[in-house]
Amino acid sequence: MNYKILALVTVMMLTGCATSNELEGHKGVFGSKAAGAGVIKPTTAAEAGMLVTQSQASGDTDAMIYAYTQALAFSDFDKAEVYLNIAGLEQQRNNNSQAEQAYRQAMSEAPKRQDIKESLALLMVDMKRHQEAETLLQEVVMNDQTRLKATPAGADVCTIDPQSPWRSYNGLGLLADIQEQGELARKYYLCALKIHSGLAMLHTNLGFSYYLNDQYAQAEQALTRAVNLDPQYQRAWSNLGLLYYRWDRKSDALMALRKNGSQAEALNDLGYIAMMDGAYEEASSLFQRAIDASPRYYPKAVANLNQVKTMAVVSNR
């Protein structure tokens, strides 16, 4: 999953600098190979702030991580927010172990902040450390129930308000689906939707959960809601295509996949679904149609056609 990078809080607290030993402790942890590392060394908080601003303007991830790491030397900055920036950037470039380290540093700086715990938990989901993720997400939800002075009642009855952690409920839904607990998953998604009803991603997750449990009519309803909310949301259209294919509504499947690209791309995607379903002859036909429909050489469809032919030969041995 791809989460927003939190903006650096540059409000100064007028409290002076960290010691040189504290600064040394950050070396080699984040951005040690970043562009400019060892070249620009801010000596004041103001210089560090300027370095951060310049790195943000450049859009260079390495430069930003280096600048944030330099900012950690000055207690003028909110270190939890600096670590969150580093974590988000490391996660963006798939350095999950370094992202985890940064999230944990942020938690140590601000142990009462549930959004940090939530972000770490969602990283754990990406890292397939499901038990750790579930524990953290449940803690976030329980803390929110305490805030609302609600009696914990599980996913069946979720007491929420607009500040409740919809990402945690969504994450728990994803984990429940992974564990093939579809009914529980949908209860969590519905909790998330009570908080953020207009988010296409949540309706898509709910629809896919219904699909996994062969509840095709409910899946279609949720996925249709998703594409109505966000007609550009490709995953919803892809899931609709998959649903319609399995529902034996091939023309509807092609129409849904066509929303994500050209006719050739839609035929190729439908062929891939057929190939994964073991329908090798149908997949071969779809890949050939994709090649024929493309105005130029379509290497992906050609590779898929060769692959499905090989799979068909192996399956007939």
- Same domain for 134 and 60: no
Rounded to whole angstroms, the Cα distance separating 128 from 123 reads 9
Say which DSSP state 264 is in: H
Q: Would you state the pLDDT for residue 154?
A: 64
Rounded to whole angstroms, the Cα distance separating 259 from 269 reads 12
- Same domain for 185 and 86: no
- Same domain for 45 and 9: yes
- Same domain for 104 and 118: no
Mapped onto helix, strand or coil, the DSSP state of residue 10 is coil
Task: Flag whether 238 is in a domain.
Answer: no
Q: Would you state the pLDDT for residue 22?
A: 39
Confidence check: pLDDT of 25 > 70: no
CB 203 within 8 A of CB 190: no
Query: Across-strand partners of 74?
Result: 17
Within 10 angstroms of residue 191's Cβ, the number of other Cβ atoms is 25
pLDDT band at 150 (very low <50, low <70, confident <90, very high): confident
- Same domain for 150 and 50: no
Task: Flag whether 229 is in a domain.
Answer: no
In angstroms, the Cα distances linking 160 to 136, 144, 147 are 18, 8, 10
pLDDT band at 153 (very low <50, low <70, confident <90, very high): low
Instruction: Please report, rounded to a whole number, the percentage of residues in the chain having pLDDT higher than 90.
Output: 83
Confidence check: pLDDT of 206 > 90: yes
pTM of the predicted protein model: 0.83
What are the φ/ψ torsions at residue 218 (nearest 5 degrees)?
-65, -40
- Same domain for 106 and 2: yes
Q: Would you state the pLDDT for residue 157?
A: 75
Express each pLDDT in 92-121 by its tens digit: 999 999 999 999 999 999 999 999 999 999
Rounded to whole angstroms, the Cα distance separating 185 from 238 reads 21
Confidence check: pLDDT of 79 > 80: yes
Domain limit, last residue, from 49, 83, 110: 110
CB 48 within 8 A of CB 70: yes
Confidence check: pLDDT of 252 > 60: yes
- Same domain for 146 and 93: no
Residue-number span of the structural domain to which 154 is assigned: 112-197
Q: How confident is the prediction for the chain on average, in pLDDT?
A: 88
Query: Total structural domains in the chain?
Result: 3
